[in-house]
Structure 1
Amino acid sequence: MKKTFLLLLLSLSAIAGEINIAVAANVSYAIDELKAVFAKHYPDTKVQVTLGSSGKLTAQIKNGAPYGLFMAANMKYPASLYADGIAVTKPVVYAQGALAYLSAKPMDFSKGIALVADKSVSKIAIANPKTAPYGTAAVEAMQKGGVYDAAKPKFVYAESISQTVTYALTAADVGFIAKSSLYSPKMAQYKENVNWASVDPALYTPIKQGVVLLKNAGKSAEYKAFYDFMLSDEAKAILRRYGYIVQ
């Protein structure tokens, strides 16, 4: 009886056209608009999104989480899934992200990366570099900028880049965030060169974000449709509005 009921639920889910996708936290600011535009083309497909750090989402996927598509914050994690046979398409870049500094209070961003070593900065929000590619990029920027040793004791670690934004505004003096978060309407009160500034891109490896279809997608036309949409001109236009670089 239980098996029959489960099969019924699965068949109803398939009819309903629901897809489950894993999305890197930095895309949380753009994903609602991406879903809305996709829905205009596929109104009967419901898109369920799970947000998180790319490392944690990868671990979930390797442990059997029921996602059919993964939008990562770099190419490393989807590449590992492809190597393991869990991803069925090679990682393709859908966007290139950028790092920024953010503070709730005015800061002298003309100092550049040296700002984080300043005595006036006692806490620095950073995404966990073990699981969040933007955290890795922030560490690289500080190392190349020669301020890592001075800055490390001040770190306040967040589990994802979206959580880092919250920490930067509430629990730290400044934080390293995804520039894309600054294009959210909720962030309009924070001004460039007053509350935030871009981190010199020469200080870190370009953050190329990759997308893959996973085995759980099976032969689903709906997963393939969302995958194709993410590489379309429509999706690229949305991502550009959120500060991403797209080809």
Structure 2
Amino acid sequence: MNYKSLATISHNQFIFKFSYPIKKIVLLILAVWAVLPAIAQPVRVAVAANAHFVLRKLADDFKKKTGVEVEIISGSSGKLTAQIKNGAPYDVFLSADMDFAQSVYTDGFALSKPRVYALGSLIVCSTTGAAVENWKTLIRDQKTGKIAIGNPTLAPYGKAAAQALNYYGLYHELSSRLVFGESISQVNTYVLKKVVNIGFTTESLVYELSPADQFKWQKIDVKAYAPIQQGAVLLKYAKNKNFVNNKRFYDYLFSAGAKAIFGQFGYRTL
């Protein structure tokens, strides 16, 4: 064997020795690259405005436990439902009632039937410092001015407020003084900016306020409105990317840890 042959063998051995591990490294890099988008993709949660505050706390707790980010999209249950049915890229939907969640499932946009994640509580609050223990007398007074409630068609807490006013025979009497918010979040804005003197909203707002924003408030007797059963569904879009984490967050909503957090914001759980 001449030098030329030896050189060829050595060169080929060199290529073989170094090309084999390089191929493994390249394949490993490609595998990691394929997984990275799924890891980085947050769970996209569409949430009814009343539960926006508590969801932020839940998202923080979920991230601490799993390292997975949660992106929050807040709005009225009715508008979010319309967005979902028009193809909005949401993974989980937390409605303020069961009806909108059921509608999403019935129309084929959810993977399973809705489950109740919380029972909501309706309150009446005063932005003027007036006591609200006798709120039914207070709001009859013309001097009380405008009264904010959510749109009963779009916002389940608005529907509950309308039911309560009807229960006490007040709705017709007060109709000219009612200001309707598109969502409970808009009602909260009216209250906190003192656009109105009285508002009907979710109890969860109380636990998010700074000392400067505190107001007088009173729970509405639960017999005056239908139970606010808030339903959640895992959406079909969740299967497109990162399904494991999307399903993980949905299941987390019904865990003991999540229930404890809901309780901190005035919600009851089953």
Q: TM-score higher than 0.5 here?
A: yes
For residues 105-149 of structure 1, the C-alpha deviation after alignment (integer angstroms, 9 at most, x for no partner) is 122323243432222221001111110000000000000110001
Contact (CA 8 Å) 2:126, 2:132: kept in 1 or not?
A: no
Tell me the C-alpha RMSD between the 2 structures.
Answer: 1.9
Quote the offset at 1:165 in angstroms: 1.3
1:53-202 alignment to 2 at 5 Å? 53-169=76-192, 170-186=194-210, 190=214, 195-202=216-223
- Where do 5+ consecutive residues of structure 2 fail to align? 1-33
Give the whole-Å Cα distance in 1 for the aligned partners of 2:247 and 2:104. 18
- Between the aligned residues of both structures, percent identity stands at 42
Amino acid in structure 1 at the alignment position of 2:83? Q
1:209 aligned partner: 230
Give the whole-Å Cα distance in 2 for the aligned partners of 1:237 and 1:136. 27
Task: Give the direction of change, closer, same or farther, for the CA distance of 1:189–1:50 in structure 2 (3 Å limit).
Answer: closer
The structure whose Rg is larger is: 2
Contact (CA 8 Å) 1:24, 1:73: kept in 2 or not?
A: yes
Contact (CA 8 Å) 1:17, 1:222: kept in 2 or not?
A: no
Quote the offset at 1:12 in angstroms: 5.5
The residue matched to 2:154 in structure 1 has which SS?
coil
Task: Give the direction of change, closer, same or farther, for the CA distance of 1:202–1:163 in structure 2 (3 Å limit).
Answer: same
Quote the offset at 1:15 in angstroms: 3.6
Return the TM-score normalized by structure 1: 0.90
1:233 aligned partner: 256
Contact (CA 8 Å) 2:59, 2:70: kept in 1 or not?
A: yes
Give the whole-Å Cα distance in 2 for the aligned partners of 1:221 and 1:114. 53
Contact (CA 8 Å) 1:88, 1:214: kept in 2 or not?
A: yes
Contact (CA 8 Å) 1:190, 1:196: kept in 2 or not?
A: no
The residue matched to 2:143 in structure 1 has which SS?
coil
The residue matched to 1:101 in structure 2 has which SS?
strand
Contact (CA 8 Å) 1:181, 1:187: kept in 2 or not?
A: no
- Where do 5+ consecutive residues of structure 1 fail to align? 1-9
Paired residues in the alignment total 235
Quote the offset at 1:27 in angstroms: 0.9
1:3 aligned partner: none
The residue matched to 1:196 in structure 2 has which SS?
strand
